[in-house]
Amino acid sequence: MKLLVGGFGLSGTPLTILDAVATFQAGNYIVVSNNLGDSGQGLHKVFTAGKIDKVIGSFFTINPEAIVAWSAGQLAIELLPQGTLAEAIRCGGAGIGGFYTPTAVGTRLAVGKEVREIDGERYLFEKAITGDIALIKAAKADKAGNLVYHTTARNFNPLMATAAKIVIAEVDTIVEIGELRAEEIITPHIFVDYIVQSTYKKEGGHYIDSN
């Protein structure tokens, strides 16, 4: 099963949902995410619980355990430049098969991928990314599932909401239908299948579980 998991560091990361995933009997996940959590939170918990077989993303050196596991052949890593990762997910949500980018041409990241010359420039073909389930984080939702994001939490989350078969959104606040202004809604409810109330609060730059 492929999971698309929002967040940049811990900003916009569905910590409550990931705490639950770390305890599931199921595992062997392919995870698409910018990074593997931080400071024993988020995807770091899922990884240390032995649930992840492969990760596709941009920034993993913040988790030394992940690098050790990769070196030992215990974790597969597919590294994508951050902009490429975001665009691949956007294409997946838009029903586009892939795209050409000059990023990573001539590097080890281009090995085995198609390179095409367009107007004298070399471009690398990157396939679109979709997932079985997207786990995302928003600041607020109404009971229909319309989502509002807070500042940098609007990183990969809106893109991932369009690119998975099932979307589960963790939110800080749930309001009645009609309480959100149309112009503040970023992810329409048509993309969202489930809403989960977050148990985490940010205090002094840290995310604390209030349970």
Rg (CA), the chain: 18
CA distance 68 to 73: 9
Residue 22, pLDDT score: 95
Nearest to 29 by CA among 5, 4, 3, 6: 3
Residue 203 pLDDT > 90, yes or no?
A: no
Contact between 168 and 206 (Cβ < 8 Å): no
pLDDT tier for residue 202 given thresholds of 50, 70 and 90: confident
Tens of pLDDT, residues 141-174:
999 999 999 999 999 999 999 999 999 999 999 9
Instruction: Classify residue 178 by burial, with Cβ atoms within 10 Å: 0-12, 13-18, 19+.
Output: exposed
Give every CB contact of residue 49 below 8 A, 6+ residues apart in sequence. 22, 23, 27
> What percent of the chain shows pLDDT beyond 70?
99
Nearest to 3 by CA among 128, 163, 199: 163
Amino acid at the residue 76? A
Tens of pLDDT, residues 94-130:
999 999 999 999 999 999 999 999 999 999 999 999 9
Tens of pLDDT, residues 55-77:
999 988 888 888 899 999 999 99
Between 78 and 201, the more confident residue is 78
Residue 205, pLDDT score: 67
Nearest to 146 by CA among 166, 175, 126: 175
Contact between 199 and 207 (Cβ < 8 Å): no
Tens of pLDDT, residues 167-201:
999 999 999 999 999 999 999 999 999 999 999 98
Q: What is the pTM of this model?
A: 0.94
